[in-house]
Amino acid sequence: MLQQWLDVVRLRLRTFFRRERVEAELDRELHFHLEQQALENVARGMTPHDARAAAQRSFGGMEHVKEDVRDVRGTAAVDHIVRDLRYTLRALVREPLFVLAAATSIALGVGGNLAVLSLAQEFLFAAPTVREPNQLVEIRQGGNSAASYRRWKDLNESGALSSVAGYSIERAVNWYSGTEVVSLIPMLVTANFFDATGVPLARGRGFSSGEADAERDPHVAVVSHSFWQGGLKGDSAVIGSVLMLNGEPYVIVGVLPDRLRSVSGYGISPQVYLPLSRSLTPDLAAPHASIVNLLGRLKPGQSLRSGRVELDAAARRLARIDGDTTMAGVQEFERNGIPRKILPFFVLLAVVSVLVLGIACANVAGLLLARATTRRREIAVRMALGASRMRLIQQLLVEGLWLALLGTAGGLAFSVVFMQFVNRVSLPVPVPIELHLAPNGVVLGGALGLMLLTILLCALAPALRATRVALAGALKQEEPRFTNRRFTMRGLLLTGQVTVSTILLVTAFLFVRNLARTQLADPGFEVAHTLVAQIGFVQSRSGVDRTAFLQSAVERVRALPGVRTAAYARGVPLTIRGGSTNGERVRFDGRTEAVHVQYARDVVGPDYFATLSIRLLGGREFVRSDEPGAPRVAIVNEEFARRYFDGQSPVGHRFRYAEHDAGDFEIVGLAANSKHRTIGEEQRPALYLPLAQHADGLEVAFVLVRTITDANVLIVPTREALGELDRSTAVEIRPMRSALAFALLPSQIGAAVLGSLGTLGLVLAMLGLYAVVSYTVSRRVSEIAIRVALGATYGRIIRLVIGDAAALVGLGLALGLAISLLVTRPFTMFLVAGLSASDPLSFGGTALALALVSLLASWIPARRVARIDPALAMRLE
Amino acid sequence: MRPSDLIQGTLDLLILKAVATEPRHGWAIAKRIEAVSGDVLQVKQGSLYPALHRLEQQGWLRADWRRNETGREAKFYSLTKAGRTQLVEEVTQWERLSKAIQLTLRNA
Q: Where are the domains of chain A?
A: 2-73, 77-127+341-478, 133-335, 501-520+740-877, 530-739
Q: Could you tell me which of A210, A183, A14 has the C-alpha nearest to residue A734?
A: A183
Task: Report pLDDT for A410.
Answer: 93
Distance (Å) from the alpha carbon of A803 to chain B's nearest alpha carbon: 59
Nearest C-alpha in A relative to B76: A29
**A421 at B interface, C-beta within 8 A:** no
Q: Which of B27, B56, B57 sits opposite A32 (nearest CB)?
A: B27
Residue B9's closest CA among B56, B59, B51?
Answer: B51
pLDDT in tens, A507-546: 888 888 888 877 777 788 888 889 998 887 765 555 568 8
**Domain boundaries of chain B, sorted by first residue:** 3-107
Euclidean distance between CA atoms A368 and A400, whole angstroms = 9
Which residue of A11, A29, A68 is in closest CB contact with B75?
A29
At residue A331, the pLDDT reads: 58
Beta strands A272-275 and A665-671, pairing class: unpaired
> What residues in chain B have their Cβ under 8 A from chain A's Cβ atoms?
25-27, 44-46, 49-50, 53-54, 56-59, 62, 65, 72-75, 80-82
Q: Please, are residues A32 and B75 in contact by the beta-carbon 8 Å criterion?
A: yes
Return the exposure string of A357-383: e unless at least 16 CB atoms fall within 10 Å of the residue's CB, then b: bbbbbbbbbbbbbbbbbebbeebbebb
Which residues of chain B have a CB within 8 Å of the CB of A74? 57
Count residue pairs from A and B with Cβ separation < 8 A. 70
pLDDT of residue A481: 45
DSSP 3-state of A101? helix
- Asked if A65's CB is within 8 angstroms of B72's CB, the reply is no
Q: Which of A25, A33, A40, A63 to mutate to test the interface with B (most CBs of B within 10 A)?
A: A33
Give kind and range of the element (H or E) at residue A704. Answer: strand A700-707
pLDDT of amino acid A863? 83
- CA A429, distance to chain mean position in Å, is 17
Instruction: Report strand pairing: A181-184 vs A173-176.
Output: antiparallel
Exposure string over A773-795, b if 16+ CB within 10 A, otherwise e: bbbbbebbbbebbebbeeebeee
Contact B27 A37 (CB under 8 A): yes
Residue of B nearest to A36 (CA): B27
CATH of domain B3-107: 1.10.10.10
Low-confidence residues in chain A, pLDDT < 50: 481-486
**Residue of B49, B55, B69 to mutate, interface with A, max A Cβ within 10 Å:** B49
For the segment A760-780, what is each residue's pLDDT rounded down to a tens digit?
A: 877 887 777 777 777 777 777
Q: How far is B29 from chain A (nearest CA, A)?
A: 11
Q: What dihedral do alpha carbons A42, A43, A45, A47 form, nearest 10°? A: 20
The minimum CA-CA distance between A69 and chain B, rounded to whole Å, is 4
Q: With contacts defined as CB-CB under 8 Å, which chain B residues touch A69?
A: 49-50, 53
Per CB-CB distance under 8 Å, the chain A contacts of B71 are: none
Do the chains contact at B82 and A72, CB–CB below 8 Å? no
Nearest CA in chain B to A34: B27
Within 4-63 of A, beta carbons closer than 8 Å to B belong to 4-5, 7-8, 11-12, 15, 25-26, 28-30, 32-33, 35-37, 59-61
Neighbouring C-beta atoms of residue A210, cutoff 10 Å: 9
Is B53 in contact with A69 (Cβ distance < 8 A)? Answer: yes
Judge contact between A79 and A16, C-beta under 8 A.
Answer: no
Q: Is A109 exposed, middle or buried (0-12, 13-18, 19+ CB in 10 A)?
A: buried
- The confidence score (pLDDT) of residue A285 equals 75
Q: In Å, how far is A2's CA from the nearest CA of chain B? A: 10
Which of left, alpha, beta for A859 (phi over 0: left; psi -120 to 50: alpha)?
alpha
A715 touches chain B (CB under 8 A): no
Instruction: List the single residue in A with minimal CA-CA distance to B55.
Output: A72
Asked if the Cβ–Cβ distance from B73 to A28 is below 8 Å, we say: yes
Calculate the dihedral angle through the C-alpha atoms of B57, B58, B62, B64, rounding to the nearest 10 degrees.
0
The secondary structure of residue A292, as a DSSP letter, is: B
The span from the CA of B81 to the CA of A3, in Å, is 9
Q: Residue B37, Cβ neighbours under 10 Å: how many?
A: 12
Considering only CB atoms, A25 lies closest to which of B54, B59, B75, namely: B75
Residue A440, C-beta contacts closer than 8 angstroms, at least 6 positions apart = A121
- Do A29 and B45 lie within an 8 Å CB cutoff? no
With contacts defined as CB-CB under 8 Å, which chain B residues touch A32? 25-27, 72-75
A381: three-class secondary structure by DSSP: helix
Interface confidence, given as ipTM, is 0.86
Residue A710 has what pLDDT? 84
**pLDDT value for A383:** 76
Nearest to A60 among B45, B59, B62 (CB): B45
Which candidate from A7, A33, A61 shows the least CB-CB separation from B26? A33
Query: Given this model, what pLDDT does residue A288 score?
Result: 64
**Is B57's CB within 8 Å of A12's CB?**
yes
Q: Which residues of B touch A11 (CB under 8 A)?
A: 56-57, 59
Question: Angle CA(A698)–CA(A704)–CA(A706) in degrees, nearest 5?
Answer: 165
Beta-carbon separation of B46 and A65 below 8 A: yes
The answer to whether residue A676 neighbours chain B at the CB level (below 8 Å) is: no
Give the whole-angstrom CA distance, residue A144 versus residue A371: 62
Is the pTM value of this prediction over 0.80?
A: no
Q: pLDDT tier at B1 (50, 70, 90 boundaries)?
A: very low
Write the DSSP symbol of residue A460.
I
Q: How many CB atoms lie within 10 A of CB A718?
A: 25
Judged by a CB distance cut-off of 8 A, whether residue A76 touches chain B is no
Taking CA–CA distances from A63, the nearest residue in chain B reads B46
Most A CBs within 10 A among B45, B72, B75, hence the mutation to make, goes to B45
What per-residue confidence (pLDDT) applies to A484?
46
